């Protein structure tokens, strides 16, 4: 066989394939494929003929054969086998297929609910970066150089000097006050990071909602009022709020606040460990030093600030006893909500 004959044979095979595939029933396509492209098919035979050609013709003949093979393959890929008639396969006694419907993660549900309630009380939502500077995370918040929170054991510092992953949402307070004149009434929800040892109540990341209200004649009573209004909406009408004295660098006076246990109504139970109270978080009146750092005059304005751990509140709400469950994305756990 010479090159001319080889090439003529190829084009005969191609035109045969074209006309046979075009007129084929879908059931015979597999047979046709075997006839032209199969292990004992026409094209395989042609490939074997290659070896009998003179050496110098083989490259060109091989190229022609490959092109033809591709063309035949594309004939088959262009043909879509018609679907089986659907009634032949339909079994009306089979149970229906249940679509999988996603739900809102309990943490996200809690966060949205918290934001909703404060929004209803006239707070707008502010946000800030999770990568912060030491200035916004500590200095501007009146946190002394030697404060233990700054310790490398407690904070994730970034390689870039002076930068860290924020340990609280309070830096947003400073950013908002720098960019806006009083009055200010915001909440700042967001992720925070601390180098805590992980256990059932600590995780390396957590969600905080920060609240800040600055105006004239703001008092600690306003703070207690807003937290009580929140607790009543979130948990129920009977919930009471109590303050315990505390210390934070950025508020003076500072308090920790508790909600009365909704499970036992303050009588003492397993959930509240017999105390009748659930510790929620910290709050207080904005320290004059913080106002100065943000460019406000502490003789002109007062304000309160509060923080709220969303995981803690979700755990109280849903009776979850291990914070890690909120981050493990275990479907068996999440599907309960």
Compare residues 17 and 278 and give the one whose CB is closer to Zn ion.
Answer: 278
SS3 state at 73: helix
Compare residues 211 and 262 and give the one whose CB is closer to Zn ion.
Answer: 262
158/29 Cα distance (integer angstroms): 63
- Dihedral sign of CA atoms 153, 154, 155, 161 in order: negative
264 touching Zn ion, by CB under 5 A: yes
- Which range touches Zn ion (CB under 5 A), out of 22-30, 59-67, 253-261, 296-304? 253-261
Compare residues 273 and 292 and give the one whose CB is closer to Zn ion.
Answer: 273
Residue keyed to tokens 């306003």: 222
Compare residues 115 and 271 and give the one whose CB is closer to Zn ion.
Answer: 271
- Which range touches Zn ion (CB under 5 A), out of 23-31, 33-41, 163-171, 266-274? 266-274
**Beta carbon of residue 335, minimum distance to Zn ion (angstroms, whole number):** 27
Compare residues 132 and 258 and give the one whose CB is closer to Zn ion.
Answer: 258
137/143 Cα distance (integer angstroms): 9
Compare residues 182 and 266 and give the one whose CB is closer to Zn ion.
Answer: 266
Positions in 270-289 near Zn ion (CB under 5 A): 271-272
SS3 state at 303: strand
65/216 Cα distance (integer angstroms): 89
Compare residues 149 and 271 and give the one whose CB is closer to Zn ion.
Answer: 271
53 touching Zn ion, by CB under 5 A: no
24 touching Zn ion, by CB under 5 A: no
* Cβ atoms within 10 Å, residue 108: 14
261 touching Zn ion, by CB under 5 A: yes
235 touching Zn ion, by CB under 5 A: no
**Beta carbon of residue 154, minimum distance to Zn ion (angstroms, whole number):** 31
Q: Dihedral (C-alpha) 63, 69, 70, 73: value to the nearest 10 degrees?
A: 180
- Which range touches Zn ion (CB under 5 A), out of 188-196, 262-270, 292-300, 301-309? 262-270
**Beta carbon of residue 238, minimum distance to Zn ion (angstroms, whole number):** 12
Q: Residue of minimal CB distance from Zn ion?
A: 261
Which runs of E-coded beta strand occur in 146-296? 163-165, 184-193, 205-215, 241-248, 251-260, 277-286
Compare residues 64 and 269 and give the one whose CB is closer to Zn ion.
Answer: 269
Residue keyed to tokens 């046979």: 20
Interface residue with Zn ion among 232, 269, 318, 334 (CB under 5 A) is 269
- Of 19, 67, 65, nearest to 42 by C-alpha is 65
DSSP letters for 123-189: PEE----SEEEHHHHTGGGT--TT-GGGSTTTS-B-SSTTEEE-SSSTHHHHHHHHHSPSPEEEEEE
Binding track over 164-183 against Zn ion, x by CB under 5 A: --------------------
Instruction: Catalog residues that contact Zn ion under the rule CB under 5 A.
Output: 261, 263-264, 269, 271-272
């Amino acid at each position: 066989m010479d090159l001319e004959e080889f090439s003529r044979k190829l084009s005969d095979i191609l035109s045969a394939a074209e006309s046979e595939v075009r007129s084929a029933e879908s059931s015979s396509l597999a047979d046709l494929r075997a006839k032209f492209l199969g292990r004992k098919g026409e094209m395989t035979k042609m490939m074997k003929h290659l070896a009998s050609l003179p050496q110098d013709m083989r490259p060109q003949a091989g190229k022609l054969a490959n092109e033809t093979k591709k063309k035949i393959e594309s004939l088959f890929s262009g043909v879509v086998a018609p679907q089986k008639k659907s009634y032949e396969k339909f079994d009306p006694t089979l149970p229906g297929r249940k679509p999988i419907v996603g739900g809102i993660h309990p943490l996200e549900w809690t966060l949205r609910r918290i934001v909703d309630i404060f929004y209803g009380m006239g707070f707008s939502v502010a946000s800030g970066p999770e990568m912060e500077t030491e200035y916004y995370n500590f200095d501007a918040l009146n946190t002394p150089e030697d404060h233990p929170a700054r310790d490398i054991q407690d904070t994730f510092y970034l390689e870039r000097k002076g930068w860290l992953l924020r340990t609280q949402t309070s830096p947003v307070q400073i950013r908002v006050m720098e960019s806006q004149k009083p009055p200010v009434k915001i909440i700042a929800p967001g992720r925070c990071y601390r180098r805590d040892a992980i256990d059932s109540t600590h995780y390396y990341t957590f969600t905080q909602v920060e609240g800040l209200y600055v105006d004239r004649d703001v008092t600690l009573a306003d703070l207690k009022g807003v937290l009580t209004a929140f607790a009543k909406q979130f948990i129920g009408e009977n919930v009471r709020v109590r303050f315990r004295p505390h210390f934070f660098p950025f508020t003076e006076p500072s308090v920790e606040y508790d909600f009365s246990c909704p499970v036992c109504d303050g009588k003492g139970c397993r959930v509240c460990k017999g105390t009748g109270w659930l510790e929620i978080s910290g709050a207080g009146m904005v320290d004059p030093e913080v106002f100065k750092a943000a460019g406000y005059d502490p003789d002109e304005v007062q304000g309160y600030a509060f923080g709220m751990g969303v995981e803690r509140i979700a755990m109280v709400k849903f009776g979850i006893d291990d914070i890690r469950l909120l981050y493990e994305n275990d479907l068996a756990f999440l599907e309960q909500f």
